[in-house]
Structure 1
Amino acid sequence: MRSAFTSEKTTLFALVLGATLICGLPLLLLFKTGLTGPSGLDLGPLLEAVQSRSVLSALWHSVESSFWSALAATILGTGLALLVGLTDIRAKGLLVFLILLPMMIPPHVTAIAWIQALGPASPVLRWLGIAPEPGSTHPLYSREGLVLLLTLQHSPLVFLLVRAALRSFPRELSDAARSSGAGAVLMLRRITLPLLGPSLLAGFALAFVAALGNFGINALIGIPARYTTLPVLVWRRLASFGPDVLPNVAVISVILGLVALAAILIQSLLQRRMRTSLIGLPQDPLAISLGRKRPLVEALLWTFVGCVLLLPAASLLATALVRTYGLPLSLEALTLDNFTEVLWRQSVTLRAFANSTGIAGLAAAVIALASLPLGYFLAHKRAGHRRWAGLALTQTEVAFAVPGLVMSIAFILAFIRPLPLLNVSLYGTLWIIGIAYVSVFLAVGLKPVAAAFLQMDGALEDAARVSGAGFVRRMRRIFAPLAAPSAASGAILVFLTAYNEVTVSALLWSTGNETIGTTIFNYEDGGYTTLAAAMSAVVVAATIVIMLAMNVLAKRVPAGTVPWKD
């Protein structure tokens, strides 16, 4: 028993140490670089940066676009969740899948698709004869266009949160309101929305932080619109001047990180004040009958979903199938050369697919393996074990909440010098991107595993201990098999996120170590629009295949693990 307890403590210590090294330490180095000088604490560079016209303008643009897009995403996501969650519309499972699909598509791919869908050279709009005049300003190259795309990208996050909150409501609330003669609108205004307050606030904060750290949309829309945000400013300075400007961009990254953490803190404080205790078991919410209006509501809903998905997807595919961007869509202009180029001829794209598949798969596997013992300790009977595991969990959640570009700067600061004792440098290699993925996405893979352990009966642990099973044997024979489906589901989510991302790797990639996200971005930024479209179309297809593969696990994991499955 004593050796088993020692094994538990050793494993827990290793997990906390690992989380600290890859999550906490890089952020501490970032804040140390940005907030200290040779003689200790020095806020001079921070105050100087805040007074800089370019930094101040980028900060305002970041806060402004994030606020308005988060507000619009909250309204849109809540409206969709109420329609799907509370009414008797049909094909809800398919609707939920399609509504959440934009959340899984990389932001830079979303931006490329919409740029090609609404621009003067749009193949689809030109084929329909409604494209803007050639040479006219693209309608998305503005603050409003940036806010629009950020809204469409992040409204599924709010939809997911609000829908989960609706499913946790006791049915008695709706039944009592209807028995008292309350109509659907009155019940919504007096009961449902007030109780949804904490979830709406959480959705707004999540959309705000996601927009604040978004790089793909901010770069591809903001740069042509001359609407520079903080992530783009950091990327421009580091890309232009290299590692020599690390102290300068570290200060800007600290500002970005502080804004994100302040938003999370304010959201947490307000949520505590708005929290309402609900009595009763969660059940399916009352389905409000739309009556004669149901066909009209369904038509409007499907039209919206179709416009959000089909128009950019069709434009992306059409651009990938023409020989030169700007040619009208016709049989003579159709070709598969762009797909052949990116899938077979271009060494950079083949290398990017291999790199992203390898490091995303490795990160997903590491996170799945680490999540099993960490999830076990988070549900442990010993309060001390739970506290130490909670320390690791907090660090992973902060690493996930902080914008990805901030974590990139933190990792450059942490690993630009050779590792002590080993004298090996990770900077400029795939390993630094892989470790960054583990740091940033560990919280994503851990949540379903932690939820699975919390649902397990404590008698399993007691019976195993009485039988003399040590920690390793308990994990191998009992808990790992039970939590494996949740770990696999979390790993797929991690792989899906890391496979397509560009924000974390935007500053960490180097020649020979390209990722899919950086390659697509560089193609579009360099004017190779048809190649960017072809590669983006492949990524979208791969994303849909991976999401469909997650349905196989839906019946073997706790409810809610797969977002679009009940």
Structure 2
Amino acid sequence: MKSGRAKRGQARSGQARAGASPAAEPRWLVPFVLGCLFLLSLLPLLSLARAGFAGLVSGQSIGVLTEPATFAAIRNTLLTASGGMVVSVAIGALFAFAVGLTDVRGKLAFSFAFMLPMMIPPQVTALAWVEMTGPASPLLKTLGIAPPLGSPQPLYSLAGISLLLGVQHAPLVFLALKSGLSASPRDGVEAARLAGATPFRVFRDIVAPLSAPGLIAGAAIAFVSGVGNFGIPAILGIPAGIEVLPTLIYTRLASFGAGTFGEIALLSSLIAVIAAAELMLQQRALAGRDYRIIGLSGANAAFSLGHLRLTVELLLVAILFFVLVAPLAALIASSLVPAYGVPLNFQTVSLRAYEEILFRQSMTLKAFGNSMFLATTAALGLLAVSVPAAYLMTRRRGLLANLLGILIEIPYALPGIVLAVAFILTFAAPLPVLNVSLYGTIWIILIAYFSSFLAVSLKPVMSAFLQMDPSLEEAARLAGAGFLRRMRDVILPLVAPAAGAAIILVFLIAANELTVSALLWSAGTQTLGVAIFNLDDSGSSDLAAALSVLVVVMVMLLMAALEALAKYLPEGVLPWRN
């Protein structure tokens, strides 16, 4: 009798350590999560593949693949993405090595400031740099160093697009490389130093080889992000007649005609193929190499810079000044002058642009309302999917968890322009039974946001579930609590800080999004990103600058709010924290 009780106790104890059993889950949980992921991930991709295949079979759209404009767009896409990758690796690696390996001061401040370009919308980055350079720059005119009138704008070029893609995506390289540097073997570095190795020899023989995975991964992510970026090539490339694949898709959709859906499906497939090829090259570069680390790791592996520390710190500050402070200062200066090209002084300073944006411009007020609605609804609504998905992925290991992970990561990994086309093809026709079309409404943008940002919402929640002891929930289950009661009284209170971080992160990204909404918006559904692009495109640079400044202020306040919550959040949730 005692032996039977002991065995049952051991079984229950083992079950508590492993997590909740499938019997502890309600029957609707797995179908609910899989159904949501089918709608948000698999169905749009199937629609994209079907439209592209139909266009090839019918021959109606295949001509787009042989047009000179397509070849030019492919060439420009590869050139700008590759150039941007080189810039991203150069800047991101420098900051990662300095913050992750050396004894520079103010590491948190450097990381926080360096992450800002990634959080700022790409069209705002492009607009800020345009306002900072060229003969009509109010900032340069105020300083008396503006180029002569009639001089070309240097950023309206392939090199300019590459430079700004590099600045925008350098934080991605920084994040990928910094996580690997934190695991540098402390005892191996100390042993090499005791053996008389110079710091350069230690870096070359120990740190650099172990940094290769993060560096390769960061470079691949920067390239793929550059391939799918719409905001920067749109602001800089369209005025110069330079088209990349995302802007080519945008112009094809704007000039809607016979076979348009098939054409944009094929062009989107080209972007997906380029992105997939780069990721395959990344895997091939890492194949056959063993990067496992044996020994202790940690901050003690940092290099002491000695008398060079101040020089390195000043170099980092100078880079942040040119990639962040100066462009934002130019943006602010442009928002305070009455017309483009007027120098800023006490006689010309004006708040008219802000008055127009905040009180008179119905278009911008509508865009602000749409973005707040979309960002808030996406941030809150995604918890209804990310919490059950994280629960299943941590409690059910194996095939189901892998399938859920793939379905969640695919939309996030795809370029936004490809995802937007997939949703156009999915919801262009009226919905079955309801006979209602979502295309041209704000709801198609919301569903696309759900798909695109689910991975962003999942990461903090997943981290909280992994750090939570499953025996707490198991004890509640054995006491008779049902799933919803356990979720309400045990699980949600424990994951609440991470859920709050997920809400702010999704809101931060969704409120400024452009690439997805650029193809999905229509009259009355424009977002802040679309409004900034349209204002600049129509020549209202002062209004575009004012709206961009307000967006940057909102981004900084939200990031500051996340930083204030840092001590309540699981490790790894805030990307700028070491």
Normalised to the residue count of structure 2, the TM-score between the two structures is: 0.93
| 1:5 aligned residue (20, 23, 31) | 23
2:256 pairs with 1:241: yes
Aligned partners of 2:541, 2:34: CA distance in 1, in Å? 45
Partner in structure 2 of residue 156 of structure 1: 171
Larger-gyration structure (1/2): 2
| 1:201 aligned residue (216, 226, 230) | 216
Deviation, structure 1 residue 453 = 1.6
Partner in structure 2 of residue 499 of structure 1: 511
Alignment of 1:536-551 (within 5 A): 536-551=548-563
What whole-Å deviation, never above 9, does each CA across 1:101-160 have from its counterpart, x for those lacking one? 111000000000000100111111112221111111101111111111011000011111
Query: After the TM superposition, which of the residue ranges 450-459 and 363-372 deviates more from structure 2?
Result: 450-459
Deviation, structure 1 residue 281 = 5.2
Partner in structure 1 of residue 441 of structure 2: 429
Code of the residue aligned with 1:536 in structure 2: it is S
Aligned partners of 2:473, 2:94: CA distance in 1, in Å? 44
Aligned partners of 2:300, 2:479: CA distance in 1, in Å? 44
Q: Cα distance 1:434–1:318, how it changes in 2: closer, same or farther (>3 A)?
A: same
Aligned partners of 1:376, 1:269: CA distance in 2, in Å? 33
Partner in structure 2 of residue 558 of structure 1: 570
Deviation, structure 1 residue 473 = 2.4
| 1:463 aligned residue (440, 452, 475) | 475
Aligned partners of 1:443, 1:358: CA distance in 2, in Å? 20
Code of the residue aligned with 1:464 in structure 2: it is A
| 2:288 aligned residue (263, 268, 273) | 273
Deviation, structure 1 residue 53 = 1.2
Code of the residue aligned with 1:511 in structure 2: it is A
8 Å Cα contact 1:59-1:230 kept in structure 2: yes
2:153 pairs with 1:135: no
Q: Cα distance 1:266–1:557, how it changes in 2: closer, same or farther (>3 A)?
A: same
Q: Cα distance 1:222–1:529, how it changes in 2: closer, same or farther (>3 A)?
A: same
Partner in structure 1 of residue 459 of structure 2: 447
8 Å Cα contact 2:393-2:404 kept in structure 1: no
Deviation, structure 1 residue 45 = 6.4
Code of the residue aligned with 2:48 in structure 1: it is L
8 Å Cα contact 2:417-2:516 kept in structure 1: yes
Partner in structure 1 of residue 379 of structure 2: 364
Code of the residue aligned with 1:35 in structure 2: it is F
Code of the residue aligned with 1:355 in structure 2: it is N
Aligned partners of 1:246, 1:47: CA distance in 2, in Å? 12
Aligned partners of 1:62, 1:50: CA distance in 2, in Å? 15
8 Å Cα contact 1:146-1:217 kept in structure 2: yes
8 Å Cα contact 1:396-1:443 kept in structure 2: yes
Code of the residue aligned with 1:10 in structure 2: it is W
Partner in structure 1 of residue 4 of structure 2: none
Partner in structure 2 of residue 121 of structure 1: 136
Unaligned runs of 5+ in 1: none
Partner in structure 2 of residue 532 of structure 1: 544
Aligned partners of 1:82, 1:306: CA distance in 2, in Å? 19
Query: After the TM superposition, which of the residue ranges 13-22 and 67-76 deviates more from structure 2?
Result: 67-76
Query: After the TM superposition, which of the residue ranges 110-119 and 389-398 deviates more from structure 2?
Result: 389-398
8 Å Cα contact 1:120-1:134 kept in structure 2: yes
Alignment of 1:253-272 (within 5 A): 253-272=268-287
Q: Cα distance 1:147–1:3, how it changes in 2: closer, same or farther (>3 A)?
A: closer
Q: Cα distance 1:81–1:285, how it changes in 2: closer, same or farther (>3 A)?
A: farther
Deviation, structure 1 residue 36 = 3.0
8 Å Cα contact 1:363-1:438 kept in structure 2: yes
Alignment of 1:33-52 (within 5 A): 33-36=51-54, 42=57, 48-52=63-67
Partner in structure 2 of residue 315 of structure 1: 330
Aligned partners of 1:209, 1:89: CA distance in 2, in Å? 31
Aligned partners of 1:337, 1:143: CA distance in 2, in Å? 34
Deviation, structure 1 residue 75 = 2.3
8 Å Cα contact 1:5-1:471 kept in structure 2: no
Deviation, structure 1 residue 456 = 2.4
8 Å Cα contact 2:335-2:542 kept in structure 1: yes
Code of the residue aligned with 1:564 in structure 2: it is W
SS in 1 for 2:242: coil
Aligned partners of 2:465, 2:152: CA distance in 1, in Å? 54
Deviation, structure 1 residue 244 = 5.9
SS in 2 for 1:196: helix
Partner in structure 2 of residue 394 of structure 1: 406
SS in 1 for 2:520: coil
Aligned partners of 1:259, 1:319: CA distance in 2, in Å? 37
8 Å Cα contact 1:16-1:389 kept in structure 2: no
Q: Cα distance 1:285–1:360, how it changes in 2: closer, same or farther (>3 A)?
A: farther
Aligned partners of 2:481, 2:298: CA distance in 1, in Å? 38
Aligned partners of 1:60, 1:170: CA distance in 2, in Å? 42
Partner in structure 2 of residue 404 of structure 1: 416
SS in 1 for 2:238: helix
Q: Cα distance 1:460–1:279, how it changes in 2: closer, same or farther (>3 A)?
A: farther
Partner in structure 1 of residue 39 of structure 2: 21
8 Å Cα contact 1:80-1:159 kept in structure 2: yes
8 Å Cα contact 2:128-2:331 kept in structure 1: yes
Alignment of 1:281-320 (within 5 A): 282-320=297-335
Q: Cα distance 1:137–1:205, how it changes in 2: closer, same or farther (>3 A)?
A: same
Code of the residue aligned with 2:418 in structure 1: it is V
Aligned partners of 2:446, 2:286: CA distance in 1, in Å? 34
Aligned partners of 1:243, 1:486: CA distance in 2, in Å? 48
Aligned partners of 1:7, 1:287: CA distance in 2, in Å? 47
2:345 pairs with 1:345: no
What whole-Å deviation, never above 9, does each CA across 1:151-170 have from its counterpart, x for those lacking one? 10000111111112111334
Deviation, structure 1 residue 8 = 3.2
Deviation, structure 1 residue 242 = 6.2
Q: Cα distance 1:275–1:362, how it changes in 2: closer, same or farther (>3 A)?
A: farther
8 Å Cα contact 1:12-1:388 kept in structure 2: no
8 Å Cα contact 1:113-1:313 kept in structure 2: yes
| 2:206 aligned residue (170, 191, 202) | 191
Alignment of 1:407-422 (within 5 A): 407-422=419-434
2:159 pairs with 1:144: yes
Deviation, structure 1 residue 34 = 0.5
Aligned partners of 1:508, 1:242: CA distance in 2, in Å? 17
Unaligned runs of 5+ in 2: 1-11, 13-19
Q: Cα distance 1:489–1:3, how it changes in 2: closer, same or farther (>3 A)?
A: closer
Deviation, structure 1 residue 5 = 3.0
Query: After the TM superposition, which of the residue ranges 7-16 and 288-297 deviates more from structure 2?
Result: 7-16
Aligned partners of 1:517, 1:275: CA distance in 2, in Å? 43
Deviation, structure 1 residue 7 = 4.7
SS in 1 for 2:565: helix
Q: Cα distance 1:265–1:467, how it changes in 2: closer, same or farther (>3 A)?
A: farther
Code of the residue aligned with 2:147 in structure 1: it is P
8 Å Cα contact 2:532-2:547 kept in structure 1: yes
Aligned partners of 1:283, 1:295: CA distance in 2, in Å? 23
Aligned partners of 1:273, 1:445: CA distance in 2, in Å? 33
Q: Cα distance 1:274–1:9, how it changes in 2: closer, same or farther (>3 A)?
A: farther
Aligned partners of 1:4, 1:392: CA distance in 2, in Å? 16
8 Å Cα contact 1:108-1:217 kept in structure 2: yes
Partner in structure 2 of residue 480 of structure 1: 492
Normalised to the residue count of structure 1, the TM-score between the two structures is: 0.95
What whole-Å deviation, never above 9, does each CA across 1:247-306 have from its counterpart, x for those lacking one? 111111111112112222332343343341123454225221111111222112111111
Deviation, structure 1 residue 542 = 0.5
Query: After the TM superposition, which of the residue ranges 535-544 and 420-429 deviates more from structure 2?
Result: 420-429
Q: Cα distance 1:266–1:43, how it changes in 2: closer, same or farther (>3 A)?
A: farther
Q: Cα distance 1:346–1:244, how it changes in 2: closer, same or farther (>3 A)?
A: farther
Query: After the TM superposition, which of the residue ranges 357-366 and 473-482 deviates more from structure 2?
Result: 473-482
